[in-house]
Amino acid sequence: MTFVSVVLDLAIDKALDYSVPPEWQGKLLRGAHVEVPVRNKMHSGYVLELKESSCFSPVKPVHGILADADLIPPDLFDLALWMARYYCTPLRQVLKTILPASIRSHMEHKQQLFVMRLKTREELQEYCKEMRNRSPAQAAILDEMLLVKKGILLTELLEKSKASRSSVKSLIAKGLLQVDSVRIDRSPLEGAEYCRTKPKKLNPEQAKALQEIKSSLESRMFETHLIHGVTGSGKTEVYLQAIETALQIGQGVIMLVPEIALTQQTIERFRSRFEGKIAVLHYRLSHGERCDEWHRIRRGEAKVVIGARSAVFSPMPNLGLIIVDEEHEHSYKQGDEMPCYQARDIAVLRGKMNKATVLLGSATPSIESHYNASRGKYKLHTLKARADTASLPVVSIVDMAPEFAKARGFTNFSEKLLEGIKDRWQKGEQVLLFLNRRGYHTTLFCKECKKAVQCQHCDLSLTYHMHENALSCHLCGYRMAPPPKACIRCRSPNPMKFQGVGTELIEKSLQALFPGVRCLRMDADTTRHKGSHQRLLRAFATGKADILIGTQMIAKGLHFPQVTLVGVLNSDASLNMPDFRASEGVFQLLTQVAGRAGRGEFPGEVIIQTFMPDNSTIQLAAAQDYNAFYREEIKIREAFGYPPFSQLVKLLVSGENESQTKAFAEKVRRDLIQKLTKEYEVLPVLPSGYARVKGQYRLQFLVRGPSTGPVSKILENIGPIPKKLRVRIDINPSSTYF
Ligand SMILES: [Zn+2]
Ligand SMILES: [Zn+2]
């Protein structure tokens, strides 16, 4: 092959042809990162295609190869091209998401400190000349650096150049070289204890689902299965046996779980079945660990990958099965950074590209997935029975208005919940209490001007943390310690008033109500340190506490057989969010939380405290009636034209200067209105739910229409974005408010 067509980062729809110099022929593969001249300037791009001839002649030669020519497996390269178009993101940035940082910087296995050039060869040659007399040691190092392809081990470099570490350091300080560290061969699973489990006997519902999944796997056809199984119905056992089948016929498997559920509990369960074949990917891995795991997968040594969102990009050879557990989870969507991809959608797409079987599972499937199943796009399997002997918990709703009246003001616990806690504590059973707010008090406000103390940098009230006696911002970490005695705004001499309840306060009041009760609290404050998350879960699982209080962290996927009572202290705030997914989110959360009760041999009870006892979402969640909720929700979505009956694009513009930010958002909006057809509705520019974060004003608008393609096409060319402004294009955002 003597020619290649190359796509540049920013214009992937227009490939350019180049000739391949003889020395690189046969080495340049599809997806290779190359440097090519465009109008006499060098640009980086990727090889899209190899070809015998070019319609444009003469063409210029490829100037350089920037990375290992076969770094990106072909299926991932195709995926990257698709994502660049669909998510309206430069290819380079997509590849940054797909490939781990350690792989992109070309670190290799078992290396410790790796030195790389930060300048082109030409520039280094210049420096080398200059330094020859002044600093021969540094010149010697540069000589070596000019000989290597991409970089060299520090130890090797020092040996060859006979220079000292300090000479290397000064070259790094000058910005000519760069050094990166890698830990050697550290498997993230090392040292973890586990006990072996054997495949369990399936009940008829599970067996039927597995049978159909097996036939998809064996026929090597792209097919998506949605397993709708109540909490505790044994979805995981179906996953495990499906994986076994895939492995028996030589296929690779990717299994996605929400980051929060990627606990030792989950990993152990999989590891015990598929010893030695598992790779685990999550954000707590060091660069070196991640690099090792990536290569193990790429070489086909690890046949099963378990990981959070980005594990969907694993370079698994012969990919045959992709599982997305808790497919409704919002953490599968990357919303804070482009490409704003949805890992569940990527899983289905990779399945299609690789003729693989895709398995989505949830107790509360997303409205979109269930809609796809109802239209026959996905195969639906319903698991109604709880596996083993466990039965669904009894759920009751407690109206808090009369409780407040009884307490002559305010109370955190209804009588029913208090009695329930007392009863379980006396019997030695465990209780889980859920509250979606951390801290002690959620606001400190002035009785005079009625304003809460706000963060200086964000549009958010500060939360009081008693343990630190400080107010803190949950968006940017800004702290005010100790809290102000008087109002900063109106200077009223009257004392300020704390309001709103967080997990920390609940913990303290339980200890006051039940002296001697052992409480554990799990929220972002108590899990800040590495391993603390696992430690808390283990402590609770082994009976070292009577009550576990927590935020949504405790709602998901945990299995505690001794828990017989779950209390939801208050989740009304989330229902009042102006977001079309608010009810769905609350329904899912309540169902998940309720599902933590009665997973062992004792029956479970759930108590939901609310000021909206008649709200249908709360009632349907209490009744654990997903189908009724789906029927109600899908009607609303259709009536108001929300997904899955339309597609949404959210454009968020942020900047320090409010009027400049708004002006740019308005300009883009006008542009879209002008260019889009009448089927598209461009909603007004509004402040985001977080109107200001870290000093940046955030303005956004939504576009709604039959597909996102035409919107992306226009947004791709919005022209130069003013300096100091940031634009984020979110295709099918998970929230229309934040
Ligand atoms: Zn005031
Ligand atoms: Zn802040």
- Euclidean distance between CA atoms 214 and 220, whole angstroms: 10
What is the rounded distance in angstroms from the CA atom of residue 127 to the CA atom of residue 174?
11
Distance CA 24, CA 152 (A): 22
- The alpha carbon of 499 and the centre of ligand 1 are apart by a number of angstroms equal to 15
pLDDT of residue 25: 84
Q: Which DSSP category does 315 fall into?
A: -
132: pLDDT confidence band, cut at 50, 70 and 90? confident
φ, ψ of residue 453 in degrees (nearest 5): -70, 125
Ligand 2 geometric centre to CA of 727 (Å): 20
Which of the residue ranges 11-15, 156-160, 188-192, 432-436 would you say has the lowest mean pLDDT? 188-192
Please name which of 22, 87, 11 lies closest in space to residue 48, comparing C-alpha atoms: 11
Neighbours of 182 (CB within 10 A): 23
Please say whether the beta carbons of 7 and 80 come within 8 A.
no
In whole angstroms, give the CA distance from residue 33 to residue 45: 6
- Specify whether the CB–CB gap between 314 and 280 falls below 8 A: no
Ligand 1 geometric centre to CA of 694 (Å): 23
Structure tokens at 142: 């540069």
* Angle between helices 582-594 and 626-640 in degrees, nearest 10: 170
Do residues 86 and 708 lie in contact, with contact meaning Cβ atoms separated by under 8 Å? yes
| CA 614/CA 401 separation, integer angstroms | 12
> What are the pLDDT digits (tens) for 575-626?
888 899 999 999 998 988 887 777 777 778 999 999 999 999 999 999 889 9
- As a dihedral over the C-alpha atoms of residue 475, residue 481, residue 485, residue 487, rounded to 10 degrees, the angle is -30
**What pLDDT is stored for residue 695 in this prediction?**
94
Dist. CA 478 → ligand 2 center (Å): 5
Ligand 2 centroid – CA 462 distance (Å): 8
445-475 pLDDT per residue, tens: 998 898 999 999 999 999 999 999 999 999 9
- CA 485–ligand 1 middle distance (angstroms): 11
| 153 CB neighbour count, 10 Å cutoff | 17
Lowest mean pLDDT among 375-389, 519-533, 551-565: 551-565
Percent of the chain at pLDDT exceeding 90: 53
Least trusted range by pLDDT, from 12-16, 30-34, 335-339, 700-704? 12-16
719 to each of 10, 465, 653, 667, 724, how far by Cα in Å? Answer: 12, 45, 14, 11, 15
Which string of DSSP letters, residue by residue, matches 218-279? HHT--EEEEEEE-TTS-HHHHHHHHHHHHHHTT-EEEEE--GGG-SHHHHHHHHHHSTTSEE
Distance 443 CA to ligand 1 centre (A): 13
More confident call, 270 vs 719:
270
Q: Residue 216: which residues within 8 A CB-CB, separation 6 or more?
A: 223, 225, 357
Using CA atoms, how far apart are residues 182 and 114, in angstroms rounded to an integer?
Answer: 8
Q: Look up residue 635 and give its two tokens.
A: 């009607």
Q: Quick one: average pLDDT of 118-145?
A: 86
Reduced to 3 states (helix: H, G, I; strand: E, B; else coil), residue 319 is: strand
Which residues are bridge partners to 255 per DSSP? 306, 323
- Point out which residues pair with 325 in neighbouring strands: 361
Average pLDDT, rounded, for the chain: 88
pLDDT of residue 340: 96
Q: Quick one: which ligand is closest to 453's CA? A: 1
The Å distance, Cα 422 to ligand 1 centre, comes to: 41
472 Cα: distance to centroid of ligand 2 (angstroms):
8
* Ligand whose nearest atom lies closest to the CA of 462: 2
pLDDT tens figures, 683-706: 999 999 999 999 999 999 999 999
Q: How far is the CA of 269 from the centre of ligand 2 (A)?
A: 40
The terminus-to-terminus CA distance of the chain in angstroms comes to 50
Helix, coil or strand: residue 499:
strand
Ligand with the closest atom to the CA of 460: 2
> What are the residues facing 427 on neighbouring strands?
none
Residue 452 Cα to ligand 2 middle (Å): 14
Find the 577 Cα to ligand 1 centroid distance in Å: 27
According to the model, what pLDDT value does residue 53 have?
83
What does the pLDDT look like over 265-284, one tens digit per residue? Answer: 778 888 888 888 899 887 76
Tell me which of 565 and 128 has the higher pLDDT.
565
Q: How far is the C-alpha of 359 from the C-alpha of 366, rounded, in Å?
A: 14
Residues linked to residue 572 through DSSP beta bridges, in sequence order = none
- CA pair distance 581, 575, nearest whole angstrom: 9
pLDDT digits (tens, 9 = 90+) for 477-521: 899 989 998 888 888 888 899 999 999 999 999 999 999 999 999
CA 353 to centroid of chain Cα atoms: 23
Q: Which ligand approaches the C-alpha of residue 459 most closely?
A: 2
> Measured in angstroms, how far is the CA atom of residue 448 from the centroid of ligand 1?
5
pLDDT of residue 664: 96
In the block, tokens 């990257």 appear at: 80
pLDDT bracket for residue 104 (50, 70, 90):
low
Range list of H helices, 29-98? 74-86, 91-98
CA 444 to ligand 2 center in whole angstroms: 15
Helix, strand or coil for residue 102? helix
In the reported structure, the alpha carbon of residue 491 is separated from the centroid of ligand 1 by a whole-number distance in angstroms of: 6
Which of helix, strand or coil describes residue 528?
A: coil
172 vs 162: CA distance, rounded Å: 17
For residues 603 and 640, the answer to whether their CB atoms sit within 8 Å is no
Per DSSP, 719 falls in state -
Predicted pLDDT at 601: 72
User: Which domains, from first to last, does the chain contain?
Assistant: 3-104 (3.40.1440.60), 110-184 (no CATH), 204-383 (3.40.50.300), 394-438+502-636 (3.40.50.300), 439-498 (no CATH), 647-731 (3.30.70.600)
